[in-house]
Structure formats: structure tokens, C-alpha cells
Chain A
Amino acid sequence: MTGFPILSLMLLVPLAGALACLFLDAKGARTVALAATLINLALGAVLWLNFEVGGPQWQFQEKVELFHGFSWALGIDGIALLLIELSVFLMPICIGASWNSIEKRVGEYMAAFLLVEVFMLGVFTAQDLLLFYMFFEAGLIPMYLIIGIWGGADRIYASYKFFLYTLLGSVLMLVAMLWMIHEAGTTDIPTLMAYDFDPRVQTWLWLAFFASFAVKMPMWPVHTWLPAAHVQAPTAGSVILAGVLLKMGGYGFIRFSLPMFPEASAQFAPLIWGLSMAAVVITSLIALVQDDMKKLIAYSSVAHMAIVTIGLFAFNPQGLEGSMLVMLSHGLVSGALFLSVGIIYDRLHTREISRYGGLSINMPRYALFFMLFTMASVGLPGTSGFVGEFLSLAGIYQVSTWTTAVCGTGIILGAAYMLYLYRRVAFGEQKNADAAAMPDLDLREILMVVPLALAVLWMGIYPESFMAPMRADIAALDARLAQAKPRGDASIAVAKDKPAPAEAAHEGAH
């Protein structure tokens, strides 16, 4: 607002930190990384406090023309703001989670993590299409390294899968982007968001973007890279992967597919609903039979992301705001769950559920937090998980009751697999002496889980803090989509002899 390039600064701080880490010893790298992420967290707070709710759509804009058509253009709206806040909030926790568990090549590791932060923030702030693409694709390189170098035994296969899936989408998206730039004559994202592409062309553009975003999301059936990547990634890698990187697909849909190709989005909405329904049921059932904690949570992520996609393709404010809240909530909750897994993994070095049991006895504090995050994951009202899920489902109900009913089974199946996990980990007798001897949370771990717990409750009890910044942007998007909005299957019909009551007129029923 004041013209101070705070967004560039937020990219610069972790970048400088990353460079510094490369030349420091383990201890120094940890300190620098923590300091850099904390500074960015503080900058994030400044950003949020200075964000003018109800002000101009794009704020904190910066623009430097680099060369013909391509510019260093940054700026955020409320949607981007929230995802930035999520990223800067999770980063210090990731550094904390890696504090002791990463022992080899610490400097490089911290540098890779800080680079992930640079690219993530770049994705959410970029206002130039090519700049966005660069950040979007580059972000995967450090992530790829984190899995490939500091990952588990099967890390090569995992990082390969991760790469292969992403490659396909990226190439198609790039081609589409180039066509769009050619057609519209600009790389400016806000301009493109208001550009009306020929509906016939939209179909192809939409599909090209879809190829990329569906993989990133991930949507069923292009999700199989996710369990592999999560299982092999170190704890902090999983946290940031589930917490923020998965949100890039959703962000892509909300920033590109929906506003730029509204007709095509409406045309393909049934496809999205179908894949989402399949995802909820199938991946929830798969989560039920997992023996590996991380795999279970990874599959549950796919199911949760399906709630995001149905909300996005509900074409109404409830669905859009709901899907944003699911993204934010899932960022916190799945991050917290992976962290919870990491905490006991650090102690016992296994992800196998059956090796644990009865942790409520020797780790009561841990059991309490794990319970809270479990409940947030199953969408208990009062936690962050509920509000988004409720709004998303309420939104999709207005266009497709079938989708609501099928995706609604996720609340049953979700409860089943999460509570089954919790029971096997925290309930029962202590079967194994080594698991029974594990100490409860230490101070470092408490400092990591308490902020997450507070954020989860905050978003559940008073989500207005998170909904206010994006309200105007969602309304604008909703207005943009109005031209293409599909008619709902639940529309009320009035019997012959009765006049229609005024209340029956509802936006979903048009």
C-alpha cells in the first residue's frame, strides 16, 4: 500500500537465507533457516494487518518491466493473502520438525526448504503468467531434492513418480499459456482473468490447465504419486507438501480455470464432480486398509482435496469460500497430522501402525493433540475442518444433490479411518516395550503443535478472520461465473394450485 515492496522482500528473505545456509555448518544453517522463516512469518503478519479488506482487488502491487512482455509483477488479493499466510505459518514449523531429525547435509537441506518457500510465495504473488509458471514448476525442484536425498528407502521411485506425473501436466499447461499470451497479447494475470476467450477454445485451454492442476491437487486417478511421495519424504517435507504444495492445484483452479474459462468450467463440472465422488469413496476406503500411517494420511488428503474441487465447481459463494477454507484447514490439519506421525517416527523409526499402541498411557499430551487433529480431520464442528467442508457441501448441494450425498459419505468413512488409526496408535494396551518407553512431547514439539492447535480452533470457532479478506474476491469470481452457472438439480417446483412463496426464489434455483 505504501509502495514498499513487501512481497519482493518476502521472496528475498528466504532466498538470502538459502544462499547463506549453503555456506554454513549444521548448527548455523538451522539457526539461519529458522530466523529467515520467522522473519517471513512476521512479514506475513504485517502483510495481513495492512491488507485492506474491502479495498482494491489487487494490493501490494509491484511491477518491473524486464523485457518485452515479461515483467516482475507481484500483487495479491484476499485469496492469495490467505495462502501466503498459510505458507509462512507452516515454514517455521517445518524447520522445527527438521531440527534434530535431519543430520546429513543440513545446510543443503535448509537451503532447499527455504527455496521451496521462495517458490511457493512466488506462485501466490505472481501476476505475470510466465513468472507464475516459473515459480509453479521451479517449486517442485527443491521438493524433488528433499524427497530424493533426505527421503526414506524407496525415495528414488517416489521422486521419479512425482516427476513423471508433474511433467505431463506442465508441458500441456505451458503450451496453453503460450497460446493465451499470443491470443490476448498480454501476460498480465488480472487482465487475463477478465478476458473472454472463445468458448470453443476454452475447452482445450481448460483441459490443458486441468492436466496440470489435477495432478497437483491431486485428483483421482492421477493421485498415486502422492502416497509414494509422502511416505518417502522426511516429516517436514510431508508437512509442506500436504500443507502448501497441494494447495497449488486448488489455487490454479480458482485463479485460472474458473475466471479465465468459465464456460468450459461449467461444461466440465460434471467431470470434476464425478472424479471427486470417486476420489472421496475410493481413497477413503483405501485409507481404511492402510498399515502405514503416512500412507493413510496421504490417501485421506486425496479425499479432502476432492471436497475442495466440488466446492470450486459448485459455482456459488458457499462452494468457493468453502473450498478455500478446506484448503486452509487441510493445510493446517494434514500438516499437523504428518507432524504428529513424525514425532513418533523420530522416536521409533517406523511408520507401521501396529508397532504402536496405548500411547495415551506414556504420551498423554501427544494423545490430546493427536485427538484434536484427528477430530479436525474428520470435520468436527468447532474445528477448522468443519466450516469448509460444510460450506463446500452446502454449495454443491445447490447444483448436484447426488454429488453432495456421495461426497457426504466422506464424513462417515473419514471418521472410520481416522478413529481406527487413532485407536490403533493411542488406545489399547502397550504391546511393544520400545513404544511404551517413548517420552511425551518435549518443549520443541510443544512449540510446534500448540500454534497449529490454536489455529485449528480459531478457524473453527471464528472463521470470519479468514473469510473477510477473501469475501470480495469470491464475490467477484462468483459474478464472473454467473454467466455459465449450471442449473441445480434440486430446484424447487411449485404445485399447480399454489402460488410461489417469495422465499422460494433462491440463487441456486435459477
Chain B
Amino acid sequence: MHPILFIVFLPLLAAIIAGLGNKQLGKVPAKVLTTGALFISCALSWPIFLGFVAGAGEVTVVPVLKWVQSGSLSFDWALRVDTLTAVMLVVITSVSALVHLYSWGYMDEEPDQPRFFAYLSLFTFAMLMLVTADNLVQMFFGWEGVGLASYLLIGFWFRKPSAGAAAIKAFVVNRVGDLGFMLGIFGIYLVFNTVSIPEILAAAPGMKGTTIGFLGHRWDTLTVLCICLFIGAMGKSAQLGLHTWLPDAMEGPTPVSALIHAATMVTAGVFMVCRLSPLFETSETAMHVVAFVGAITCFFAATVGCTQWDIKRVIAYSTCSQLGYMFFAAGVGAYGAAMFHLFTHAFFKALLFLGAGSVIHAMHHEQDMRFYGGLRKHIPITFWAMTAGTLAITGVGVAGFIGFAGFHSKDAVLEAAFGSGSSVGQFAFWMGILAALMTSFYSWRLAFLTFFGKPRWASSEHIQHAVHDAHGHGDHGHDDHAHGHDDHHCHADHGDGTAGYHPHESPLVMLIPLIVLSIGAVAAGFTFQHAFISEGAGEFWKGALVFHEHLIHAMHGVPTWVKWAPFTVMSLGLLTAWYGYVKNLSFPAMVVEQIGPVYTFVYRKWMFDELYHYAFVVPAFWLGKVFWKVVDIGIVDRFGPDGAAWTVSKGSVYAQKVQSGYLYSYALVMLLGLVGAISWVIAG
């Protein structure tokens, strides 16, 4: 049996057992089972990936089961392994295994743990089905499967109204994209008479120059198909317009955010574009759309990220922005660079989220950075891990030499955009540079607000509850973690901004994933740069995506200032953040005052939520009421059955006897009809 079968189905099996066993099974067996399954999957995935890195991997398709055959439309369950899949396999199983482990600590107080771990494993299964799909419909299965898991996990704390609302929003907004995906699949079947990915990709160039009717107009066939599919990608990968669900998805437990809403699920759109790159390559218009949407998103999300106070929301907008980088890389044809950034981003963004989780854990679920400060002394390991993540995302490194993970991948993306020579590539480059400036700013802002300065959590409600509870239940809880501050026990002592509360470092099960991911954030860039984006990377990809060698040459040939530009803006962002959040604390408020309306607009996330609420949600409910009360009851019923009843019952008590009355008349009509029928037939 091929190891891919175990990689994919062990998490499913674990999810089923843990989910159905639930309370009867107990917390520890559920945790051991799911986490164990993921570590096995992970251990089986790396050899496959390293095999491809070493140039020894083979493209394999493992058939599993027949699915649907209807006329000429047929698709089966099958698992495809090629380079692209292998990259995704290690990303998914590694981050998932670490997140499972991390959750042992993070979710420790949660009574409902088997359910949580079952969902996590279910998610992993669906994601693996997505990346191993050999046809578009199985990809869609994984696509919606991860959507389900995401819905369940965002709504995991279902008692909170905000969690329930966020879960629905995520599912429904994604469904908008999914409709695009479905229309794309239908169109592809119409055009290519197949939904098998390799067959589509082989036939795509032959369809160049044809047109197709769609919604009453004629369009370039391949452009329509690609745009429809890309709308699906925009939904899943939270690109501008369909991004509104991602920040709200932060209602889910933080390990979920790390796994689903940073490292894996949200990158599915990028994966899809790369997987279908030969198709996208056939439509210049579609490529431009991809690049343009990516560039705009990366800029938009970065602006919002600069203004948020919730630590998870900052990272969520950061994710949205980084996904924009991946898309515009793909849009200019640098699929290798897009996948490379996806790969490194998975490690450092999961790290940042898990680090944030560790901070939140230490701060009794306080997520507002205004109530943090000076935490580096209290939670040093978390601090160092977050620093590694920040260095990675901001792309610290020496041009042409070596740097943290994000340095290698983000610079490659920017150089590819510039080197592509197209005007949309130029646009993407400048948007990317601006976003890089803001990335550096908001990332360091987060770091400074959280770990530097003086403690500010005295007025945090969460902390006050924690302190109150600890005192209410005796002092032991805090004495265990006394950092030589035994004199700070009482409420009265608010002078140092701590309210007597002293955060403590997370348990080992949470720190191990942080440390492992830190290694990834430091080393994933230079270790795998050669495989993903060097001149010889075509050997690695083996046709799993379109690899333009000339683009690699163009990347190397960009002017020196282009190579140094990311470093320059990174430094600028760092300095600004340092000035505003360490040196001169009144500076940010001053700036906000200066740019008032602009700040409000950005802080309110460009008003997308308000816009959609009034453009879609309110009219939908209003229309529903109108169709129900006015059309159904007011018109159809009034002139239909009620009108008939009124006519019949007028001046008689007939209506009171309908029950028996109508039954008999009904039977009578039938009987009469039959008699008539039979006599006619006999007579005829």
C-alpha cells in the first residue's frame, strides 16, 4: 500500500473515533489518537517531499474508489502525489501535528476536548484530500470539507454569539466563492468534456482563441473558465471582496487560527492556481486579474493590519496580505515563488499565531494589545519565538546572501513581479513594496506593544477576573509562579500596571511547537530556496506547475535597487514602529489625529462589513419578508386557495365542514372521473 493512503486516511480514522467516541472515549485517548495519527502522517510525508527535493520522487496516482459516472462526466476518488502535492503534504501534516500537540496545552482547561481534536483531524483529512485531488470535483470535495471543518472550529465555542455568527459568515462567504468554482467546473466539463486535472491541462492550449457563451455574452473561453475558478480561490484565500470572513474567523481557538487560517486552508486558493497553472497561462487576462487582485489585497490588508489592536486580528490581516503576495507572484507567472512563499509563510505564520496563542494563554484570554506590555521578561521563550517569526515575516536578511525564511521567499516574489516586465507586474511590485513597509511596521508594532514597554494589563477585564478568581480560591495559583515579586499580592497595588498579576510561560507541549516552528522560520528559506526557485527548479517541479526559467533569469537581472528595496522598507517600518511604540509613545495618537478620517476608514476595515451588511444581508431579509408576506400570502394565497374558499364559503357554513366535506367530494370527483374514463374507453 502506498504511504499516501495512510497519510490521508489516518487523520480521518482518528477524527471518526475521537468524534464518535467523544466523552465515552475520554480526553487523553482522543488526544493521543489524533495527535499520534498526525505525527505518523507527518513522518510519512517528509520522506516523500525530500525524495522530490533530491530529484527521486515519482508522480503517482493511487485510485481509491469509484465516485460518479454520468454520461461522459465521470470522476473517481484518487490520491495524486507529485511535487506540488508533496510540498503541501509536509506543510499540512507538519503544522497540523504541531498544532495538535500545542493544543494539549492550550485547550487543557476545555471540557470538550475530544470534539476539538476530532475537528482538527477532520480538517487535516479534508485538506489532504484537496491537495491530492486528481480531478476538480475531488478538489472541490476537499475545498468544501475544509470549509466545514473551518465552520465547526470557528464555532467551537458555540455558546458565544460572536463565534456562531463568525462561523456562518465564514461558510456563507466561502460559498460565494464556491459558486464561482462550481461554475468553473461546469464550464470546464462543457469545454474539455472531462474534469480530470491532467487531461484539462493537456488540452487547455488547444482551446486558445475560442469563445464561449456565458450569461448572455460571448467571452474568451479560457478567460471565463479561469476567472470563475479564481473567484473560488478568492473566497478560500480571503482576497479583497471575499476576505471579510477571515478576521472574524479569529473567534475560533488560536491553534485553529494557526493551522487553518494561516498555514493551510487559506492557501488552498494559491495551491489551486498553481495546480492549474497551465490553464491560467493560456489566458493573459485571467493572469492579470490574479496579479491585480493579489496586489490590491496585499496592500489593503496591510493597511488594516497597521491599525488593529486585537493581536489575532493583526496577524489575520497579515495573513490576508501575505496571501496577496502569493497571488500576484502566481499572476506574473512565478508559480515557484508563490509556492515558496506559501511554504515559508506556513511556518512563520503558524509560529506567529501559536506565539500569540501563548501570549493569550499567559494573559487569560486577553487579546487586546493595549493591555499587554513588557511581557518579554515574563514569557521569554514565547518572546524569542515570536521574534523569530517577526524577523521571518518582515524579511530580515542580506540581499543576495542569507536571511530569515520570509526574506528569501518575499524577495523572490517581489523580484519576480518586477522582473516580469508587465505593467501589472510593476503595479504589483510597488504595491508589494508598500505592503512590505507596512508589514514591517505592524509586525514590529505588535512585538513592541506586546513584549516591550511597561505592563498595561491592570485595567484588562480578563486579568481582573483572573486575579479575582485566584484570590477568591486562595493564593496558591500565583505563588507557584512567583517571580520574586511576592509583595505584589494584593489588589491595591496597581502602581506597576500589573494589578498583581504575573503572566507565566506556557507549558512544554506548547513551547515545543514554538521552538520547532522557529527553526522553520529561520531556516526554511535558505534550505529550500534552491529546490523551489533556482534555475534548476524545473527538475524539482517536474511539470507539477508551469516553471518559467526565463523569469528566474529576469529575477536575477533586476537592478540592485530592486534587490535592496525590501530591506530598506523593512528597516523603515522597524524604525517607525520603534519610534512610535518604544521611543515616543504619544506619536501614534498624534498621527491618528492628523489623518483622522483616513484612520477611521482603515480602522473600520475599509467599511466592507458595513457595506455588505447593507448591500446584502439587510436586503436579503427584507426581500424574504416581502416574498413571504406580500407575494405568497398577499397574492398567491389571496387569489388562489383563500379566494376560492371565500367564494365557496360565502353565505354558507360549508367551510366549517371542510374536513369531511372536501374529503368526500374529492373521492367523488375521482370516482366520477374514473367511471367516465372507463366508459369512454369501453365505448371507444
Residues of A in contact with B (beta carbons under 8 Å apart)? 67-70, 130, 133-134, 137-138, 140-141, 144-145, 148-149, 156, 159-161, 163-165, 167, 170-171, 174, 177-178, 181-182, 185, 187, 221-222, 224-225, 282-283, 285-290, 316-318, 321-322, 358, 360-361, 364, 368, 371, 375, 380-382, 386-387, 390-391, 393-394, 397-398, 401-402, 404-405, 408-409, 411-413, 415-416, 419-420, 423, 426-429, 461-464, 467, 478, 488-495, 497-498, 501, 503-504, 506-509
A-B pair count, CB < 8 Å, reads: 270
B528 interface hit (Cβ, 8 Å) = no
Is the Cβ of A397 less than 8 Å from the Cβ of B187?
Answer: yes
Query: Interface extent on B, as a size class?
Result: 35 or more
Out of B140, B155, B221, B677, name the residue touching A492 (CB < 8 Å). B221
On chain A, the residues within 8 Å of B210 by CB distance are: 492-495, 498, 504
> How many angstroms from the CA of A221 to the CA of B208 in the assembled complex?
44
Residue of A nearest to B20 (CB): A368
Q: Residue on A with the closest CB to B177?
A: A412
Partner of B677, one of A177, A286, A321: A177
With both chains docked as a complex, state the minimum distance between the C-beta of B529 and any C-beta of chain A, in angstroms: 37
Could you tell me the distance in whole angstroms from the C-beta of A316 to the nearest C-beta in chain B?
7
B681 interfacial contact with A, CB 8 Å: yes
Interface-side segment among B285-293, B425-433, B636-644: B636-644
- The listed residue (A140, A182, A393, A463) touching B68 by CB distance below 8 A is A463
| Contact A286–B168 (Cβ < 8 Å) | no
Pick the residue among B185, B192, B631 that contacts A394 (CB under 8 A): B185
Chain B residues with CB below 8 A from A408, complex form: 179, 182-183
Most buried by A among B73, B167, B183: B73
* B residues neighboring A (CB under 8 Å): 19, 22-23, 65-73, 77, 137, 140-141, 144-145, 148, 151-152, 155, 158-159, 161, 163-165, 167-168, 171-172, 175-176, 178-179, 182-183, 185-187, 189-193, 203, 206-216, 218, 221, 620-621, 623-625, 627-628, 631-633, 636-637, 640-641, 644-645, 655, 658-659, 662-663, 666-667, 669-670, 673-674, 676-678, 680-682, 684
By the criterion CB–CB under 8 Å, are B207 and A504 in contact? yes
**A-B residue pairs in contact (CB < 8 Å), sample of 19:** A133-B674, A133-B677, A141-B667, A148-B659, A178-B681, A222-B640, A316-B71, A381-B144, A408-B179, A419-B167, A427-B167, A428-B158, A464-B69, A467-B68, A492-B191, A492-B212, A493-B212, A494-B210, A498-B208
Q: Is the Cβ of A394 less than 8 Å from the Cβ of B189?
A: yes
Instruction: Report Cα–Cα, A467/B208, bound state, in Å.
Output: 35
Specify which chain A residues have a CB less than 8 angstroms from the CB of B141 in the assembled complex: 381-382, 386
* Chain B residues near A161 (CB-CB < 8 A): 641
* Least CB distance, B131 to chain A, in whole angstroms: 15
Whole-angstrom distance between the alpha carbons of A159 and B658 in the complex? Answer: 9
Q: Which residues of B contact A412 (CB under 8 A)?
A: 172, 175-176, 179
Chain A residues with CB below 8 A from B625, complex form: 289
Could you say which residues of chain B place their CB within 8 Å of the CB of A386? 141, 144
Q: Chain A nearest CB: distance from B583 CB in Å?
A: 46
* Chain B residues, CB < 8 A from A393: 182, 186
Cβ-closest 9 pairs across A and B: A317-B71, A289-B624, A397-B186, A285-B624, A381-B141, A427-B158, A501-B206, A427-B164, A495-B209
With a cutoff of 8 Å between Cβ atoms, the chain A residues found around residue B676 in the complex are 178
Evaluate whether A160 and B183 lie within 8 angstroms (CB atoms) in the complex, with A321-B70, A397-B190, A412-B175 already known.
no
Contact A405 B641 (CB under 8 A): no
Q: Would A467 and B215 be within 8 Å (CB), given that A181-B681, A404-B186 are in contact?
A: no
In this complex, the member of B23, B145, B185, B212 whose beta carbon has the largest number of chain A beta carbons within 10 angstroms is B212
Contacts A423-B168, A492-B191, A493-B218: A286 and B624 contacting too (C-beta < 8 A)?
yes
